[in-house]
Amino acid sequence: DALVALSKAMPKTELHLHIEGTFEPEQMFAIAQRNQVDLKYHSVDALKAAYQFTNLQDFLDLYYQGMSVLLHEVDFYDLTMAYLHKMHSENVVHVEIFFDPQGHLSRGVAFAEQVNGIHRALQDAKQQWGMTFKLIMSFLRHLSEESAFETLELAKPFLPLIDGVGLDSSEVGHPPEKFLRVFAACKQLGLKVTAHAGEEGPPEYVWQAIEQIGVDRIDHGNRALEDDKLIEEIKKRNLTLTVCPLSNLKLCVVTDMTEHPIKKMLSLGLQATVNSDDPAYFGGYMNDNYASLIRQTNINKEELLKLAKNGITGSWMDEETKTHHL
Ligand code: ES4
Ligand code: ZN
């Protein structure tokens, strides 16, 4: 209908996207073959059939298996370019993408191979289409803070290519405060900071991300809605929430899209945005996320435009670039 058409046509940003989560089964098998790596699943259909998750960990187990075929710079380039090509076709004008260096370092893939491949694709997309970007390295929270510090040390020669740091993977049992010192070190280096919080974890983890880490935004943040004081704090600090509707549905953070709280977030005055998280695993890219919200919630035109605008104001673009995109 008309709103879906509008959502497709409007310029959009992606602020919450794991590049390893854009690995489509067809490309995964092609790169596996090229690199002579064995996948546990033996066909595209068998792999796709496994994409049924009841929680975050179910998904993460498959996500780490999938990324295990990425070995060389060109693999990271091809993965990123395929994603950026799709996003250009969906009128996405700016992307801020996460990568998980520890998920590759543990397999002997050097930091340089990862970051150079991803960054070269981002530069090519900027050159070809004027698509702007930020690159965010994410620490795996199920690993130790010491491992995060080691990763930061390996990243140091590449800091000109990296804009910020994030915190992802298994949330419950791994609160933000576990990474207090490494995030302080990142800030000292001038990096922007975000963290997944309140996806499965309690409001307390969102408080920690804000008060102890001092995040510049919050990834997900759904469970912040359980705490009125926390809602006020997020508003006071003008923190953007990078909300991921189809992800929330696939990982059972919401039971049905009709129950998705994004309208509630907007009505509370929270700066919510729409993002795709791990689109190859969750059943859709940017436009699919908007279409699903439009069809399943009674979101209106003003809310739609506000979500897209929040994606620009909540991004880490400089002010001049924001003005250019607004
Ligand atoms: C993730 Cl949806 C989600 N949550 C936490 N960590 C992640 N890594 C990749 N996708
Ligand atoms: Zn995520």
What digits encode the pLDDT tens for the residues 239-263?
A: 999 999 999 999 999 999 999 999 9
Instruction: Write out the CATH class of domain 2-20+70-325.
Output: alpha beta
Strand partners, 136: 98, 164
DSSP secondary structure string, 258-281? GG-THHHHHHTT-EEEE--BSHHH
Edge-to-edge order in the sheet of strand 164-168: 12-18, 92-99, 132-140, 164-168, 192-197, 217-220, 240-243, 271-274
Given 20, 73, 199, 303, the catalytic residue = 199
Spatial distance between the Cα atoms of 7 and 92, rounded to a whole number of angstroms: 11
User: Is 199 marked active-site?
Assistant: yes
What is residue 239's DSSP assignment? Answer: P
**Over 90: is that where the pLDDT of 326 sits?**
no
Measured distance CA(268)–CA(310) in Å, rounded: 14
Residue 273: is its pLDDT beyond 90? yes
Token look-up 């709280």 returns 261
Rg for the chain (alpha carbons), in Å? 18
Residue nearest atom 8 in ligand 1 by C-alpha distance: 169
Whose Cα sits closest to atom 6 in ligand 1? Answer: 169
Amino acid at 219: D
- Between the CA of 21 and the centroid of ligand 2 the distance, in Å, is 9
The answer to whether residues 295 and 4 touch, using CB atoms and an 8 Å cutoff, is: yes
| pLDDT of the residue at 118 | 99
What's the rounded Cα separation, in Å, for the pair 4 and 293? 9
Phi/psi-derived region of residue 107, left when phi > 0, alpha when psi is between -120 and 50, beta in every other case = alpha
Report residue 124 as tokens: 């090519």
* Domain segments of the chain as ranges: 2-20+70-325
Judged against a pLDDT cut of 90, whether residue 12 lies above it is answered with yes
Pocket of ligand 1 from Cβ distances under 6 Å:
18, 21, 56, 63, 168-169, 196, 199, 247, 277-278
Q: What pLDDT score does 14 carry?
A: 98
What pLDDT shows up at residue 58? 96
- Residue 278 CA, ligand 2 centroid: distance in Å: 7
pLDDT tens-digit profile of 25-80? 999 999 999 999 999 999 999 999 999 999 999 999 999 999 999 999 999 999 99
Q: What is the pTM of this model?
A: 0.98
Q: What mean pLDDT comes out for the span 137-154?
A: 98
Residues 6+ apart with CB under 8 A from 257: 245, 249, 292, 293, 295, 296, 297
pLDDT value of residue 288:
98
**How much is the mean pLDDT over the chain?**
98
> How far is 99 from 117, CA to CA, in rounded Å?
11
Q: Which residue has the tokens 């803070």?
A: 145
Q: For position 325, what pLDDT does the model report?
A: 86
